[in-house]
Amino acid sequence: MRRRTFLKGTMIGAAAGAVPVSALTQGTAFAAGTVTVGTIPALQSAIDAAVPGDRIVLADGTYSVPSTGIRVTDKRGTAGAPITIVAAGRGGAVLDGTVGFVLSRSSDITISGFAFRQTTTFAIPADCPRIRLTRNDFKLADKDGLDWLTIRGDDAKIDRNRFHDRGTQGIFVVVDGPGATAMAQRTQILRNHFADHSYAGDNGGESIRIGVSQRALSTANAVVEYNLFERCDGDPEAISVKSSGNTIRYNTLRSGRGGIVLRHGNGSAVEGNHILGGANGIRLYGNDHRVVNNHVSGTTSRGIVIGSGSTRDHTPDETGEERRGNDACDRAVIAHNTLVGNTKTLWGESRTHEPRDVVVADNILVASTGTLVGLNATSGFVWRGNILWGAAADGTAPAGGFRRVDPLLRQDADGVYRLTAGSPAVDAAAYTGLTLTEDADGHPRTGTRDVGADEYSTLAPVRRPLTPADVGPNAS
């Protein structure tokens, strides 16, 4: 790794925040491979000269980015030595203008700590794998139809950022892919804070969308975990999955219209999420999904929806219009979830193709009003070991598929309903066709599992619902 010294003297070794921006026009070297700059032209020059392992620091301040953007072209770090471009202080370098960073033919680049205020989409193109965006603040133009971040390159990592405050149609984060049907592979979206999307339209205001209808049959292998969604009202789908083979786990959704929706695609997992209040819980279409260990309470619409279809299964030879339709939910496993106090608890729909061969097992459903189970036509469902309780009617839950008994839940300070000593849910799981090693709290499940999302324990939870301190630019 080579050392570059642009400005010598008493500034060497000084903290970036202590150096006046005007003194950083040409840059200051603090250590081998680290360069601090104070203007956009100097930043561009440092990027153009960067080699693997270099760290380029932009001093705090507000910068007007030219219409050509800050170009990262033909720059390739390595897995062990990425090229890192970082603001001196988290959120301290504010980038205004039409565009911010413009990436092309680059890889292993980390961009960290910036406040993005641009008026066009931040794009990670398909020819830019292994791009990491971390500890940034995204508040792009509140412009109708503008998606703030679009990912088409493989192995992107989007972590510890904040996306917040918009009132128009448009999505915070879109995962797409190259061409018309492929998906970007192995995207990681973790420890981000999504907040305050107030768009009131019926569609197009998701916080995260993974894929789109024409990409539904492509496997993305995306992982969305440990993110917090607060007041995300831009769409009924806060996390909208329109591709296959994804994992949505350990997220917290609070007081928003949006829920977790497997809208298109097959073979995804929804595990260990907390949905506390708001409107929508979990809704699923497509085949072979796994929905386990989730806690859904206090929603004003539906806790879990097992979707029916305008088509039986999506196929590669469909027309575009056919691909946009709902694919009936087949062969899902919905087990060990706890649903309390939802206006509608476990619900269905009335399209042409009924859901088939779904396992509904070892869930706890509790409500004081309304109806607990409102499924319409189904075929080949397996019901085992569920517990229903409260003044709400049983609805269409089949005899033999549940017990009506008080599960002895308590609501803890974090809002989660957990089992108490002596609960009839303890060691009472009935479905054996599922391997599940942990509960929603991160406690081990051993022996005969407990019913619901919680395995009774006197130990403190390993995982709890997330708060703003757990996510965003300052998270650990």
Q: What is the pLDDT of residue 7?
A: 32
The DSSP string of 193-257 is: EEEEE---SSSS--SEEEE-GGGTTSB---EEES-EEEEE-SSSEEEEEESBS-EEES-EEES-S
What integer pLDDT is reported at residue 377 of this predicted model? Answer: 96
Per-residue pLDDT tens digits for 84-110: 999 999 999 999 999 999 999 999 999
Residue 116 CA, chain-centre distance (Å), reads: 20
Six-digit token string for 295 = 């806690």
State pLDDT tens for residues 337-362: 999 999 999 999 999 999 999 999 99
In the block, residue with structure tokens 């000269």: 49
Whole-number Å distance between alpha carbons of 128 and 18: 34
What pLDDT score does 32 carry?
54
The predicted pLDDT at position 10 comes to: 28
**Domains in the chain, ordered, with CATH?**
121-470 (2.160.20.10)
d(Cα 271, Cα 290) in Å, to the nearest integer?
8
In the prediction, which pLDDT does 135 show? 98
Which is nearest to 351 in space by CA: 287, 300, 303, 285? 285
Which residue shows structure tokens 């929706």?
261
Residue 4's pLDDT is: 36
The three-class DSSP label of residue 323 is helix
Instruction: Count CA within 13 A, CB hemisphere, residue 332.
Output: 32
- Judged against a pLDDT cut of 80, whether residue 137 lies above it is answered with yes
**Rounded to an integer, what distance in angstroms lies between the CA atom of residue 335 and that of residue 294?**
9
pLDDT at 389 > cutoff 80: yes
Question: Using alpha carbons only, how large is the chain's radius of gyration in Å?
Answer: 24
Name residues whose C-beta falls within 8 Å of residue 21's C-beta, 6 or more positions apart in sequence: 38, 59, 60, 61
Tens digits of per-residue pLDDT, 117-126?
999 999 999 9
Give the separation between CA 24 and CA 381, rounded to whole angstroms.
67
Distance CA 391, CA 474 (A): 44
Q: In what order do the strands lie in the sheet with 393-395?
A: 122-124, 149-151, 173-175, 208-211, 237-242, 259-264, 282-284, 302-306, 344-347, 371-374, 393-395
pLDDT tens digits, 411-435: 999 999 999 999 999 999 999 999 9
Render pLDDT for 10-32 as a digit per residue (tens, 0 to 9). 222 333 333 333 333 344 444 55
Q: What are 163's strand-pairing partners?
A: 138, 194
Q: List, for residues 79-90, the tens digit of each pLDDT value.
A: 999 999 999 999
pLDDT tens digits along 217-252: 999 999 999 999 999 999 999 999 999 999 999 999
Counting residues of the chain whose pLDDT is more than 70, the rounded percentage is 93
Element (H, E) at 114: strand 114-118
**Cβ atoms 84, 113 nearer than 8 A:** no
pLDDT of 223 reads 99
**pLDDT value for 321:** 81
Q: Which pLDDT does position 22 carry in this prediction? A: 32
Whether 127 has a pLDDT exceeding 90, the answer reads yes
Q: What average pLDDT does range 176-194 have in this prediction? A: 97
